[in-house]
Amino acid sequence: MAEEIHASEANQTWTLEELPPGMKPITCKWVYKVKYKSDGTIEHFKARLVVRGHHQLEGFDFIETFASVAKMSSVRTFLSVAVARGWELHQMVVNNAFLHGDLEEDVYMRVPPSFSSSNSQMVGKLRKSLYGLGSPNSLLL
């Protein structure tokens, strides 16, 4: 959880602000997952902060959602070209890739559980997208 909060702060995912009149913050929660190695042993534990975007209404709070995903046929084609040309391949894990989507809309969320703030009235104004968030226009629920 500390790594996730640190990554969010480093990416300037949100800023703590007072909630403007007429706005309602969305809630968030922690989702936990155990990552395993191929032999079945535990590799590491992962915590991800997600907003509860299911409270958003399509057409009102957001118009569409987008998640970039590579098709397996594209991956196979790329690997075939790499093998044919003798290229060296490397694997990497991209942490917090979703956090790089800048938001133009005003979206507020409650302060994450276990995240301390000196003022309990503060909310997080999202500057970048978080997991679970649609493409919001505004949240005037």
Cα–Cα distances in angstroms (integers) from residue 96 to residues 11, 40, 63, 128, 133, in the given order: 9, 25, 23, 11, 14
| Entry pTM | 0.58
| Cβ contacts of 76 within 8 Å, gap of 6 or more | none
pLDDT in tens, 94-113: 655 555 566 777 888 888 77
Two tokens, residue 136:
């919001």
Please name the residue that has the structure tokens 């990416």.
Answer: 11
pLDDT in tens, 14-71: 888 888 888 888 888 888 889 898 899 998 888 888 877 655 555 544 555 555 667 8
Task: Locate the domains of the chain by residue range.
Answer: 2-66+96-126
